[in-house]
Amino acid sequence: MKTLSITEGRGRQGYWLKKAAQGHDIGFVVEGKIVALRPVEVVSTDYALQEYGLSQKEMEVAERRIHAELKSARAHGELTGFTGKPKSVERESVEP
């Protein structure tokens, strides 16, 4: 494993991150401990569970609530389509 101080790694941070992503063992010495750089796979199916610490049941309840709120907002005309442009740009381009 290649170990670096924070100061050593800072100057070529992108280089060391690429090396770690390629499978090389890279570590930083932080307060006497080695902290390893490792690529991780992010799986979107469990992102909310990991990010917010929800149980599977809590996530299912939240999902149903969000879908119900979106359905209600659509029914009341409170949602508009996203065009990728800020509203101020859309108004400027529509008005003569």
Residue by residue, DSSP assigns 23-48 as T--EEEEETTEEEEE------GGGHH
Query: How does residue 87 score in pLDDT terms, banded at 50, 70 and 90?
Result: low
For the full predicted model, state whether its pTM sits above 0.85. Answer: no
pLDDT at 25: 94
Query: From CA 69, how far away is CA 75, in angstroms rounded?
Result: 10
- At 14-72, the pLDDT tens digits run 999 999 999 999 999 999 999 999 988 777 777 777 788 888 898 889 889 999 999 99
Contact of 6 with 35, CB cutoff 8 Å: no
DSSP at 76: T
Could you count the other beta carbons within 10 Å of the beta carbon of residue 3?
Answer: 14
